[in-house]
Structure 1
Amino acid sequence: MNNPKRLYYVLIVFSIVLAVLIGRLAHIQLVDTRSFSKHQVNLIEESVKQRIHSIALDDGRGKMQDRYGELLAEVHEPSVILFPFLKEDEEALKKLSPLVSRSTFELKNKLEGRKDPLVIKNEDITRETVEQVNDLMIQGAFGQMLSINEENTFASHFIGSVRENPGMLREKYPERIDKGLISISTKTGVNGIQAAFDPFLISEGESKLIYHVEQSGRPLFGFDVKYTAPSNPFYPVTLRTTLDPKAQRIVEDAIDQFKITKGGAVLLDVDSSDVLAMASRPLPPHSNPLAEGTANKMLETHFPGSVFKIVTAAAAIEEDHLSTDPDRVFDCSKNTYNEGQEQRDLGNLTFKESFYQSCNNTFATLLNEMMENDKDITDEYAAKLGLTAFSGWTGDVFHFEGLKHYPGEQSSMIWNDGQDKHVSRAIAQTAIGQLNVRVSPLSVANMMTTIARGGTKKQVRAAHSVLYKNGTTLADFKEKEIPGDSLSRYTIKELQKLLKGVVVDPNGTGHGTFSQLPWAVAGKSGTAEKGEKGQKGYNKWFAGYFPADDPKYALVVVDLDAAETETATNKTFAQIVQQLYEAQQQQPD
Structure 2
Amino acid sequence: MNDGVRLRLVILRVLAVSLLVTLGARLWVLQVLDGAHYRRVAEDNRVREVVTPAPRGMILDDQGAALVRNRTSLVISVNRSTTDRQRDGGKAVFEQLSSVIGMSVADIEKKIRFCGPKVPQPCWTGSPYQPVPIAKDATPQQALAIIEHPDRFPGITADLEAVREYPFGPLAAHELGYLAPVSQSQLDQQTAQLKKDGKPSSDGTYHLNSLVGVAGLESVYDTALRGVDGVQDLEVDRFGRVSGTASNTAPIAGDNVVLNLDQGVQAAAEQALRATLDKLPGDAKARTASAVVLNVKTGGVIALASLPSYDPSVFVGGISQQDYQSLSDPANGIPLLSRAYQGTGPAGSTFKIVSTATAMGLLGAKPDQKFPCSPTLQIGSQTFHNFEGESAGPITLHQALVISCDVIFDGFAYDEWLRDGGLRNGKGPYPPAAENFVKMAREMGFGSKSGIDLPGESAGAVVDRAQAQQIWSELKDSYCRRAKNGYPEEKDPATAKRYQQYAAEACVDGYLYNAGAAAQFAIGQGQYLSVSPLQLAVAYASVANGGTVYEPQLAKAIVAPDGTVVKRFAPVVKSKVDVPPDVLGYIREALHGVTTEPGGTGTGVFADWPSNIIPIGGKTGTAEVEGHQDTSWFASFAPVNDPQYAVVVSVPDSGQGAMYAAPVVKSIYQAIFGVGRPAALPGGLPPASLPSVVHDAGAIAAPQANGPAGAVPPVAAGALPDAAAPGAAGGAVLPAALRAGPAATGGQPAQVGVTSAGGPRAPPSSGAG
- In the alignment, structure 1 residue 522 sits paired with structure 2 residue 590: no
Q: Alignment partner of 1:483: what SS?
A: strand
Match of 1:265 among 286, 291, 308: 291
Contact 2:557 2:565 in 1 (8 A): yes
Match of 1:339 among 365, 380, 383: 383
Which residue in 1 is equivalent to 2:263?
245
Match of 2:403 among 357, 365, 372: 357
Equivalent residues, number = 467
Partner Cα separation in structure 2 for residue 483 and residue 586 of structure 1? 29
Report the CA distance between 1:173 and its aligned residue: 4.3
One-letter amino acid matched to 2:652 = L
- In the alignment, structure 1 residue 384 sits paired with structure 2 residue 401: no
Which residue in 2 is equivalent to 1:414?
462
Query: Residues 143-187 of structure 1: CA distance to partner in whole angstroms, max 9, x if unpaired?
Result: 989664348301101111111251463477455787243223322
One-letter amino acid matched to 2:364 = H
Which residue in 1 is equivalent to 2:634?
542
Match of 1:166 among 165, 172, 183: 183
Q: Alignment partner of 2:575: what SS?
A: coil
Cα distance change on mapping 1:207 and 1:356 into 2, 3 Å: farther
Which residue in 1 is equivalent to 2:519?
428
Contact 1:247 1:276 in 2 (8 A): yes
Which residue in 1 is equivalent to 2:208?
184
Match of 1:198 among 222, 227, 240: 222
Partner Cα separation in structure 2 for residue 465 and residue 440 of structure 1? 26
Contact 2:377 2:411 in 1 (8 A): no
Report the CA distance between 1:486 and its aligned residue: 2.9
Contact 2:417 2:515 in 1 (8 A): no
Contact 1:205 1:229 in 2 (8 A): no
Map 1:145-156 to 2 at 5 A: 148-150=164-166, 152-156=169-173
Cα distance change on mapping 1:117 and 1:497 into 2, 3 Å: closer
Query: Residues 222-246 of structure 1: CA distance to partner in whole angstroms, max 9, x if unpaired?
Result: xxxxxx996364x412222221111
Cα distance change on mapping 1:366 and 1:424 into 2, 3 Å: same
Map 1:385-534 to 2 at 5 A: 385-393=444-452, 405-415=453-463, 417-418=465-466, 422-435=513-526, 436-518=528-610, 519-531=614-626
One-letter amino acid matched to 2:288 = K
Cα distance change on mapping 1:158 and 1:112 into 2, 3 Å: closer
Which residue in 2 is equivalent to 1:224?
none
Q: Alignment partner of 1:523: what SS?
A: strand
Cα distance change on mapping 1:496 and 1:343 into 2, 3 Å: closer
- Name the % identity: 22
Which residue in 2 is equivalent to 1:135?
none
Report the CA distance between 1:278 and its aligned residue: 0.9
Report the CA distance between 1:479 and its aligned residue: 1.1
Cα distance change on mapping 1:566 and 1:321 into 2, 3 Å: closer
One-letter amino acid matched to 1:60 = P
Report the CA distance between 1:452 and its aligned residue: 1.2
Contact 1:160 1:189 in 2 (8 A): yes
Partner Cα separation in structure 2 for residue 243 and residue 72 of structure 1? 10
One-letter amino acid matched to 2:618 = G
Report the CA distance between 1:481 and its aligned residue: 0.7
One-letter amino acid matched to 2:634 = F
Cα distance change on mapping 1:505 and 1:154 into 2, 3 Å: same
Query: Residues 354-408 of structure 1: CA distance to partner in whole angstroms, max 9, x if unpaired?
Result: 2112122111101222344454201221133233442225xxxxxxxxxxx1221
Partner Cα separation in structure 2 for residue 192 and residue 347 of structure 1? 47
One-letter amino acid matched to 1:429 = Q
Partner Cα separation in structure 1 for residue 583 and residue 251 of structure 2? 54
Query: Residues 392-430 of structure 1: CA distance to partner in whole angstroms, max 9, x if unpaired?
Result: 25xxxxxxxxxxx12211113122654678522111111
Which residue in 2 is equivalent to 1:348?
392
Which residue in 2 is equivalent to 1:60?
55
Partner Cα separation in structure 1 for residue 542 and residue 341 of structure 2? 18
One-letter amino acid matched to 2:358 = A
Partner Cα separation in structure 2 for residue 409 and residue 417 of structure 1? 25
Partner Cα separation in structure 1 for residue 600 and residue 360 of structure 2? 20
- In the alignment, structure 1 residue 295 sits paired with structure 2 residue 337: yes
Contact 2:341 2:458 in 1 (8 A): yes
Report the CA distance between 1:329 and its aligned residue: 2.5
Partner Cα separation in structure 2 for residue 407 and residue 68 of structure 1? 25
Which residue in 2 is equivalent to 1:74?
69
Q: Alignment partner of 2:652: what SS?
A: strand
- In the alignment, structure 1 residue 231 sits paired with structure 2 residue 250: yes
Contact 1:66 1:241 in 2 (8 A): yes
| Unaligned stretches of 5+ residues in structure 1 | 1-41, 84-108, 123-141, 209-227, 394-404
Once the two structures are overlaid, the 10-residue window that deviates more, 310-319 or 564-573, is 564-573
Contact 1:385 1:486 in 2 (8 A): no
Report the CA distance between 1:451 and its aligned residue: 1.2
Contact 1:543 1:556 in 2 (8 A): yes
Cα distance change on mapping 1:327 and 1:150 into 2, 3 Å: closer
Cα distance change on mapping 1:59 and 1:491 into 2, 3 Å: same
Cα distance change on mapping 1:156 and 1:176 into 2, 3 Å: farther
Which residue in 1 is equivalent to 2:83?
none
Q: Alignment partner of 2:618: what SS?
A: strand
Which residue in 2 is equivalent to 1:366?
412
- In the alignment, structure 1 residue 558 sits paired with structure 2 residue 650: yes
TM-score, L = length of structure 1:
0.69
Which residue in 1 is equivalent to 2:347?
304
**What is the root-mean-square deviation in Å for CA atoms of aligned residues?**
4.2
Contact 2:177 2:214 in 1 (8 A): yes
Which residue in 2 is equivalent to 1:92?
none
Partner Cα separation in structure 2 for residue 493 and residue 177 of structure 1? 56
Partner Cα separation in structure 1 for residue 189 and residue 609 of structure 2? 49
One-letter amino acid matched to 1:579 = A
One-letter amino acid matched to 1:71 = A
Partner Cα separation in structure 1 for residue 249 and residue 409 of structure 2? 62
Partner Cα separation in structure 2 for residue 236 and residue 288 of structure 1? 28
Which residue in 2 is equivalent to 1:131?
none
Partner Cα separation in structure 2 for residue 195 and residue 465 of structure 1? 16
Partner Cα separation in structure 2 for residue 145 and residue 276 of structure 1? 33
Partner Cα separation in structure 2 for residue 314 and residue 529 of structure 1? 23
Report the CA distance between 1:446 and its aligned residue: 1.1
TM-score, L = length of structure 2:
0.54
Contact 1:517 1:577 in 2 (8 A): no
Partner Cα separation in structure 1 for residue 76 and residue 619 of structure 2? 60
| Unaligned stretches of 5+ residues in structure 2 | 1-44, 78-98, 109-133, 142-157, 196-200, 233-246, 279-286, 315-322, 421-433, 469-510, 684-704, 706-769
- In the alignment, structure 1 residue 277 sits paired with structure 2 residue 292: no
Partner Cα separation in structure 1 for residue 291 and residue 248 of structure 2? 41
Once the two structures are overlaid, the 10-residue window that deviates more, 453-462 or 196-205, is 196-205
Map 1:70-109 to 2 at 5 A: 70-74=65-69, 76=71
Partner Cα separation in structure 2 for residue 342 and residue 461 of structure 1? 38
Which residue in 2 is equivalent to 1:37?
none
Q: Alignment partner of 1:457: what SS?
A: strand
Contact 1:60 1:206 in 2 (8 A): no
One-letter amino acid matched to 2:608 = Q
